[in-house]
Chains A and B, each alone.
Chain A
């Protein structure tokens, strides 16, 4: 469990970091919090020849709250979701999910953007990003672009980043006043990657029926998976117990999860239904309470 030989670079500015990514491309990996990358390197599953440690780029540790959205820099730690009231109130879905992400020790190192780039299909932050319609801010020497979260994740541990690009931040839209969010998951142990996780964004119309629903699952496919059938089913329907239950069953039916050491496909489908009900119920409670 010792990494294969690699070169190490520690840029101090964004420009320098991007230049290094441009120069080394595919043979390099960007090191942020290192909570996934280091263990994969130690197991020699990943063998980059250059490590670009962005920990000294101070700009990456910032987040900026604008009128409509919030930009989270590439080195903002997951623990900021526990400690920053501004961040929590701007993106309540992440605030809801943070207690599920690893443990206090890993959250103090692991970064929000790092989790997106790692693109583990069972991770919590990618689910939140897709549910919230977040945009991934990507830069290279060729310029800057944003990628919608649901186009960013292309497979297990893979993204639509080009070799010369790096993610410099993620932009979460601020939750609009009429919407509520909720997140929940079932994992084998507290702090593990989820067997299934679910995030939802819900808006009710004036009659109290579902006007807008985004329902996204983790742990059930190669990427975060939107349950569009269930979303469509809910639109226009009143949030009654049986409706939520049906939505759960429709969601579960639409998912094609896998078997692994920790859970069967059938189990994942079953708990996806339960989680659908749970997050919708939780969201509805928030609607009634007037919180997010």
Chain B
């Protein structure tokens, strides 16, 4: 049986389950020093004076760094994901120089012999702030009386991104039905189980910097570190051990990414910094905060004519990863629904909050939430079943490839390559037994119980370019090693990529070793994000394995004196089809290709060794589709929501390892449930963050997880050799939309409208009570 598509248990798990993983904090180098950062306690202030003299003299302290200790090339972070759409880019300060712009911004770095002493010394740094007015709400930030986050950026607007097709003005002028919704999605944090962390070591003998970190984009880090420290890229090696989750926030550029290597090189000592949970909650980049004001025009029969409006995107104080999030929202709002006219503008606004950059889902949960809220409003206005309204407007299977009509986030025309949204919706409805639930809903209302049903259909883009490169080697013992640049944050790459190779070379899965997490593996790579590694690296692995397969066959043909077409691979040997006992084993071939010291190669024309180097460069994004549905019950006396049943139907194209994909979907839904009910980063008006611990920032636990059924309907993607689409984010994107719909549906007798996520029991109960329900 082929390995592709098999629910193969993960090679990674044995080590992780027995606690034998090796994470960045497990790295100990003799003589290693520890860094603790002093962070701003003010959201906006001039720094009159940063006095580190007492800290410098504290027990165990080796050095203290402030902005003036950094060379010019290491003062400001470059844009990690540059985009011409960003008019006024402002990169984060590595250490705050003359002013601070958010609570948590790094100001000084204490270097000490242990982290405890460093934290003691950090308390001795005296900072003389000259407070300035801060702005937290991006809607206030674009008013003329708002304080400015960056003095030279008027109205705090970093850029405006319009995305449009058709003629909305005309279409709306004559539309029979128009609905409008103003909906907000609030800030959330990444919160991987493992926080960020870096160990840097300057190797004097080799003139080379070794950096262990937790990056999703180690090659980006390599380049940025090299530039900041005035080194060539080859002089910087970035490594990952095991990584405990990425979720986007590890795929970005932070001050520490440059600062820790700089300190290690400057002091010529190994240096470690491990982000603690409090730092993570107050200072690692956030996402999601956006305020949407959108209208939808429809025909009386429910056919969507168009969508128009704008949204205000809270970008935080700096732009570490371009305008990726708002751009993704702007292009994703139409989703799998057809419309002739579309015009939405993203207004990207700086605020005195933690910078905003992609976190799993990346702009798409907002897009889907806004679109589905509009559809619910339209269904209500048209007195139509919300499912029927969606069915009416979905792109049909025969309409693929489907040109949405504008340019997508990667600069190419947004053309959905393949899909079948109506089938996904039908399947989701059958899983939750939609018609029966509708009947049950009516019955239960008589008993004073309120259940509701929600659905949402989504498209996301995945498999971003420009390329990934791999090297595949067969060793003398016949085992195979694949080296690549895309690191793992726990996705199971060692397992999944080995499955691809096993099929091509007809060797056991266990005989394949996948190496990631070392920038010395290949020359260039982009990284693991945007659901791209499976598609892009996976296709490169497939191409490389095929090249190696061809090379084995070429050798076999020469050795066995037959035509290449007469040969096949089986059981670690190249065999002759007509007589499989005539064969040459891989180990013999490798031995022959490697040769023997002092003698000529026997097959000189093929060159030495059994290696192949290969790559894959996708022409465009690919487009997974999904439909989620949920049944919830709301206790109208407590406002508590119970998710009775959740269905996720996904079209991720061909599934390489459905077990791993199940895990991605389940984890994604957990994140989405958090985004709907629990996870909210909260600031007060002065820009102080109120959710600095896990007692305030609530994550969903296993006890909050409902019954979830996952199903796949796969339309193979025509744009890569494996027919895959990305699976990393599909679970995260729809839940806020689906669950909001379901809760509104349950509370229809009370005319409850939900205009933001996350929402709490308090808010639901207040909305019910506002309707006049006596407790």
Contact = CB atoms under 8 A, between A and B. Distances in A.
Interface of A: 1-5, 39, 43-44, 103, 186, 188-193, 195, 249, 261-264, 266-267, 270-271, 273-274
A263 B276 contact: no
Given A1-B279, A2-B276, 9 more contacts: A2-B119, A189-B703, A190-B704, A191-B701, A261-B682, A261-B690, A262-B760, A262-B762, A274-B775
5 contacts: A190-B703, A191-B703, A262-B698, A267-B762, A267-B765
Contacts of A192: 698
Interface in B608-665: 637-640
A4 B119 CA distance: 8
A105 to B, nearest CB: 11
A43 B277 CA distance: 10
B120 A4 contact: yes
A271 B766 contact: no
Contacts of B701: 103, 189-191
Contacts of B639: 267
A273 B774 CA distance: 12
Interface of B: 115-116, 119-120, 123, 276-279, 637-640, 678, 682, 690-691, 693, 695-696, 698, 700-701, 703-704, 760-762, 765-766, 769, 775
A191 B276 CA distance: 23
B765 A186 contact: no
A195 B765 CA distance: 14
A257 B235 CA distance: 61
A270 B765 CA distance: 9
A2 B114 CA distance: 11
A249 B775 CA distance: 9
A267 B278 contact: no
Contact of B278 (A43, A189, A273): A43
B769 A189 contact: no
Nearest to A274: B637
A256 B409 CA distance: 52
A214 B701 CA distance: 34
Contacts of B704: 189-190
Interface pairs A-B: 3 shortest CB-CB:
A267-B762, A1-B276, A190-B703
Contacts of A4: 120
B762 A264 contact: yes
Contacts of B700: 189
Nearest to B691: A261
Nearest to A195: B761
Contacts of B703: 189-191
B637 A2 contact: no
Contacts of A261: 682, 690-691, 696
Contacts of B115: 2
Contacts of A39: 693
Given A189-B678, A270-B775, A1 B278 contact: yes
B678 A274 contact: no
Contacts of A195: 761
Contacts of B119: 2
Contact of B640 (A43, A186, A264): A186
A270 B775 CA distance: 7
A155 to B, nearest CB: 19
A2 B116 contact: yes
Contacts of A262: 698, 760, 762
Nearest to B701: A189
B759 to A, nearest CB: 12
B116 A188 contact: no
A191 B698 CA distance: 12
Contact of A273 (B116, B761, B775): B775
B657 to A, nearest CB: 31
A100 to B, nearest CB: 12
A6 B701 CA distance: 34
Nearest to A1: B276
Given A189-B698, A261-B690, A263-B760, A270 B769 contact: yes
Contact of A1 (B123, B277, B682, B761): B277
Contacts of B765: 267, 270-271
Contacts of B775: 249, 270, 273-274
B638 A186 contact: yes
Contacts of B691: 261
A270 B762 CA distance: 9
A271 B691 CA distance: 24
Contact of B761 (A43, A193, A267): A267
Contact of A188 (B123, B761, B769): B761
A273 B765 CA distance: 13
A262 B691 CA distance: 11
- Name, among B682, B695, B762, B765, the residue most crowded by chain A CB atoms within 10 Å (CB to CB): B762
B729 to A, nearest CB: 24
Nearest to B694: A39
